[in-house]
Amino acid sequence: MTGPATDVPAPPADDDDVPRFLADLGLPGLVDLHVHFLPERMLHKVWAYFDEAQLHYGTPWPVHYRTSEPERVATLGELGVQTFAPLTYPHKPGMARWLTEWVTDFAAATPGAVRTATLFPEPDVADYLGAAVEAGARVVKVHVQVGGFDPRDPLLRPAWGLLADAGVPAVVHCGNGPIPGPHTGLDVFGEVLTEHPALRVVLAHAGMPDYAGALDLLGRFEHVRLDTTMVGTPFSERIAPLPADWPARLVPVADRVVFGSDFPNIPYPYAEQVRAVARWAAADRRLGAAFLRSVLHDAPVQLIDF
């Protein structure tokens, strides 16, 4: 018997209200596995790209948290984010090593930031990725759309293998949203998983817009999870709406959903993402407050605390 949950606290009215919502759930803080920090000059280029989003994506994308790096770190703290994964990603060869080195330094100097790495199919990928894992990287970002590479590229085989062996999760943007890349598609990434079934993968944006395809991969591969990044917000509902029965579809995989936001590059306040997840939890009593505690804290902690 299903029906709405009755144990979900009132969703946060705005960003200032997020800590109250977390406290009502009995959580010490929020764990966000999908946040972006980049070298300042590169981040400004990314923001300039979003300024032309009408051209690229067919919709305006006004970046909401366009502040200095220290201010962005402080904003996360004010939101109640206790731990976050700062993710970087290259768009061409020769960048992933120095991005990984940059973000390693950033994480070491920033309370709450976990160590991350990124990769690209290139001859030295196993070398810098292995060094990062050795140094304590807890999350690896893989951007198949922006990178424009084929995740099945033989150059990546040793990288997938070492991540699978180390148990380090990869947050992979392999869905066709907001626009397809030459090698995006959950079917394409499914071939990587067939070859490396032990790989811990977090499907970024829940595979947006192919949510059913993402759930299919979760059904086929036990180490695959999905993140909530941008999913179910009013902005994304306009361009890639969720199926009407989304909360019910999450029930069998409720412990494999982790919170992600895409802060700071989102065209709306952070609270909208928290509200979206709260709505799913409230819609089905098999989810409820327990689901929220898992998504916002327990499941991401379990993934990075190994």
Question: Which residue of this chain has its Cβ atom nearest to Zn ion in the complex?
Answer: 262
Q: Which stretch binds Zn ion (CB under 5 A): 127-135, 184-192, 208-216, 256-264?
A: 256-264
Q: Which stretch binds Zn ion (CB under 5 A): 44-52, 92-100, 209-217, 254-262?
A: 254-262
Q: How far is the CB of 54 from Zn ion (least distance, A)?
A: 20
Q: How far is the CB of 84 from Zn ion (least distance, A)?
A: 12
Helix (H) / strand (E) containing 179: none
11 or 260: CB nearest Zn ion? 260
Q: Which residue has the tokens 């709260």?
A: 278
108 exposure class (CB count in 10 Å sphere: 0-12, 13-18, 19+):
exposed
Q: Which stretch binds Zn ion (CB under 5 A): 5-13, 67-75, 259-267, 286-294?
A: 259-267
Q: For the stretch 220-242, what's the b/e string if a residue is b when 16 or more beta carbons lie within 10 angstroms of its beta carbon? A: ebebbbbbbbbbbbebbeeebeb
Q: How far is the CB of 271 from Zn ion (least distance, A)?
A: 18
Greatest CA span in the chain, whole angstroms?
Answer: 54
Q: How far is the CB of 47 from Zn ion (least distance, A)?
A: 14
Helix, strand or coil, per DSSP, at residue 161: helix
What whole-number distance in Å separates Cα of residue 50 and Cα of residue 176?
A: 18
Say if CB 87 and CB 35 are below 8 A apart.
yes
Reading across the β-sheet that carries 224-227, which strands appear in turn? 116-118, 139-143, 170-173, 201-203, 224-227, 257-258
Q: Which residues does 100 contact at the CB level (< 8 Å), separation at least 6?
A: 88, 116, 117, 118, 128, 129, 132, 137
Q: Which stretch binds Zn ion (CB under 5 A): 98-106, 115-123, 190-198, 258-266?
A: 258-266
Distance from chain centroid for Cα 112: 16
Total of chain residues touching Zn ion, rule CB under 5 A: 1
Q: Which stretch binds Zn ion (CB under 5 A): 93-101, 191-199, 239-247, 262-270?
A: 262-270
210 or 262: CB nearest Zn ion? 262
Q: Could you say whether residue 227 binds Zn ion (CB under 5 A)? A: no
Q: How far is the CB of 231 from Zn ion (least distance, A)?
A: 12
Q: How far is the CB of 13 from Zn ion (least distance, A)?
A: 25
173 or 286: CB nearest Zn ion? 173
Of 273, 266, 269, give the one whose Cα is nearest residue 296.
273
82 or 265: CB nearest Zn ion? 265
In the list 15, 262, 272, 284, the residue contacting Zn ion (rule: CB under 5 A) is: 262
32 or 262: CB nearest Zn ion? 262
Q: Which stretch binds Zn ion (CB under 5 A): 23-31, 69-77, 122-130, 260-268?
A: 260-268
20 or 66: CB nearest Zn ion? 66
262 or 272: CB nearest Zn ion? 262
What whole-number distance in Å separates Cα of residue 260 and Cα of residue 33?
A: 5
Say if CB 226 and CB 206 are below 8 A apart.
yes
Q: How far is the CB of 144 from Zn ion (least distance, A)?
A: 12
137 or 171: CB nearest Zn ion? 171
Binding site for Zn ion (CB under 5 A): 262
